[in-house]
Amino acid sequence: SYELTQPPSVSVSPGQTARITCSGDKLGNTFASWYQQKPGQSPLVIIYQNTRRPSGIPERFSGSNSGNTATLTISGTQAMDEADYYCQAWDTSTSYVFGSGTKVTVL
Amino acid sequence: QVQLQQWGAGLLKPSETLSLTCVVSGGSFTGYFWTWIRQSPGKGLEWIGEINQGGTTNYNPSLKSRVAMSINTSKNQFSLSLNSVTAADTAIYYCVQKRGMAAAENWFDPWGQGTPVTVSS
């Protein structure tokens, strides 16, 4: 079955850049989406189709996808960005699959 | 703006059947696949399956033998049934709209509020 691997945690100082990776076999050949989930809330899409940002999502969130790795970048990280982040992709054998999640801590 | 509101029993005994329903408001119900996704501490986010207004379904192969989805287009509702539940089915269950065209392009938005389901004897 297809798997997406994320680091369990990422720490970042306010105002700095956080990068969250999502690794999967030939992930760059498909599209990746990213979801933000804060405690007690439902996931919220922040990046879809690798780089597209839904309306209302701040410009400091951006995405890329190449080779075996998709990356979510948070530029100028703010305290409100502290949350869990999940990547998601589609595979012919597994259908829709999610990464295990990365907890972003803003120190 | 599309909103999803879901409900269903939150406490089940092993071997019982999980039943959840989701109602869609504020947007078009047709032309989309409506999805169930669950989240558990052990398995993270897991796609359960989807249904469209024509009743076409696609299920996660790992759950396919126990899952059934139905749809009521007159009420803008869709439902999930999962039989023979065990403790491994304990999770928060979300109803979600699937967006995009081709499968590889799809993403999920918006999400319902989630229904915590616990399976315990």
Position A50 scores a pLDDT of 97
Q: What's the pLDDT tens digit per position in B102-115?
A: 888 899 999 999 99
Say if residues A68 and A18 touch (Cβ distance below 8 Å). Answer: no
Size of interface A-B (CB pairs under 8 A): 58
Position B105 scores a pLDDT of 86
Distance from C-alpha of A41 to C-alpha of B92, rounded to nearest angstrom? 11
Contact A42 B113 (CB under 8 A): yes
Distance from C-alpha of A80 to C-alpha of A75, rounded to nearest angstrom? 13
Chain A CB contacts of B104 under 8 Å are: 30-31, 89-90
Q: pLDDT in tens for each of the 121 residues of chain B?
A: 999 999 999 999 999 999 999 999 999 898 999 999 999 988 889 999 999 999 999 999 999 999 999 999 999 999 999 999 999 999 999 999 999 888 888 999 999 999 999 999 9
Q: What's the pLDDT tens digit per position in A17-71?
A: 999 999 999 999 999 999 999 999 999 999 999 999 999 999 999 999 999 999 9
Position A75 scores a pLDDT of 98
